[in-house]
Amino acid sequence: MPKKLLVLGGGTGGLIISREVRERLTPDEVEITVVDAKDKSEFRPSYLYVAFGYRMPEQISAPLEHLRKYRINFVKARVTKIDPANRRVSTTAGDFTYDDLVVSLGAETVETGLPHTWELEPSLKVADALSQVRQGHVVIGVYSLPYRCPPAPIELAMLTHFYYLTRGLRDKVKITVVHPLKKPFENFGPMAAKWMSGFLQQLGIEYIGIGQGQAIKSIGKNELELTNGERVKFDTAFVVPPHKAPDPVLNSDLAKNGWAAPRNPANGDFRSEKYDDVYVVGDVAAPNVPVGMAGTILHSYSPWVVNNIVADLAGVSLGNPPFRVTGTCALDVGGFGMAAACDFTPFVKKQKPYPDCMFLPPSPVTRMFKEMFEKIYFNWLLGVVP
């Protein structure tokens, strides 16, 4: 009888882990099942391209049915309960048991009603909102920490700048970023904050940094009330909504401080704190690692997760390379790209206050890197180029 690997979530983490385990173990050795509420997986970094009309939704998503090519089962169903003590997961398509479980359910957004680029549907409303402002104030706000891809609000601000620049309206439109961090990119260290502050200044983008986890207290009609008491009026606003762990995680004993808790991430152990046969990876666990929510970060530590699963299910030890947690974020500045590439290992191990980062300044080559990654993503994970 093959062992059973159950993977909750068919996003970045679910796809990487299921594909990598399948490359190492045959269907006779392990039956792999991926469960996701949606039947398509989306490449989230390209929501920004959808928002600005550079891509159609079907160009940044691919059917999870393609997993069957790799003899991985896909079940479209909502996970409703995780019961690790009894090795049982309840879904809208029935109950599942497992030998090993991977929880890669990501983070959920709590919608505020304003458009933004953190989910597909709200991204489709950004272009409309931009076109309605020919003069006035556009605000890009971040409700609270944590949220997916820490640098992305800055990218949204820069693309907004480019949007009005190319329409000859930039001098009539004020752009402001409202953010929980006192300075932009402060989480990447003081040098990064200085560099990004200067860059935003050059583009004429105002930055209001609050200096606490929650920046926005309430959203009124054309006005944001900030947690420092300030009120910011806007003609249109894009607000990164609060993020939370999905309820089945919150309602299980896998959660700590509101997010899934890995056992010893500083040493590459992403088993849940309590259960040897449950792994918690990606955005759902990021705040407890602690790292930002980024697919590249989860990709960097996935070999340790895969190797442990192969050892659990087949009794084969593949050995581990030196442990590193790294991440890359490529930002489109409009015609140009820039990128941050960080090694979070010393930060996660509490050896340094910040990750070691390097930055690629704006250049067309870096933009190409971003676009290439978009094309490679689904080809790599689902064998298809949308």
Ligand X SMILES: Cc1cc2nc3c(=O)[nH]c(=O)nc-3n(C[C@H](O)[C@H](O)[C@H](O)COP(=O)(O)OP(=O)(O)OC[C@H]3O[C@@H](n4cnc5c(N)ncnc54)[C@H](O)[C@@H]3O)c2cc1C
User: By the criterion CB under 6 A, which residues form the site for ligand X?
Assistant: 9-14, 35-38, 41, 44-45, 47-48, 78-79, 104-106, 117-118, 148-149, 152, 246, 248, 282-284, 293-296, 298, 327, 329-330
Residue closer to ligand X (CB basis): 145 or 218: 145
Helix, strand, or coil (residue 207) = strand
Whether the bond between 146 and the residue before it is cis, its omega within 30 degrees of 0, is yes
Helix, strand, or coil (residue 237) = strand
CB of 248 to ligand X, least distance (A): 5
Closest CA to 376 of 326, 330, 338: 330
| CA 65 remoteness from chain centre | 22
CB of 89 to ligand X, least distance (A): 10
Residue number of the CB closest to ligand X reads: 11
Burial level of 365, CB count in 10 A (0-12/13-18/19+)?
exposed
CA 104 – CA 284 distance, rounded (Å): 7
Closest CA to 114 of 135, 99, 130, 103: 130
Q: Under a CB-based contact definition with an 8 Å cutoff, are residues 286 and 146 in contact?
A: yes
Residue closer to ligand X (CB basis): 130 or 230: 130
Q: Report the chain's C-alpha Rg in angstroms.
A: 21
Q: Under a CB-based contact definition with an 8 Å cutoff, are residues 153 and 179 in contact?
A: yes
Residue closer to ligand X (CB basis): 246 or 334: 246
CB of 147 to ligand X, least distance (A): 8
Query: In terms of DSSP bridges, do strands 173-179 and 205-209 run parallel, antiparallel, or are they unpaired?
Result: parallel
The pair of structure tokens assigned to 143 is 């409700």
Residue closer to ligand X (CB basis): 114 or 294: 294
CB of 155 to ligand X, least distance (A): 7
Residue closer to ligand X (CB basis): 211 or 335: 335
Whether the bond between 290 and the residue before it is cis, its omega within 30 degrees of 0, is yes
CB of 194 to ligand X, least distance (A): 22
Residue closer to ligand X (CB basis): 104 or 366: 104
Residue closer to ligand X (CB basis): 5 or 329: 329
CB of 255 to ligand X, least distance (A): 14
| CA 329 remoteness from chain centre | 11
Residue closer to ligand X (CB basis): 225 or 247: 247
CB of 171 to ligand X, least distance (A): 28
CA 303 – CA 310 distance, rounded (Å): 10
CB of 206 to ligand X, least distance (A): 21
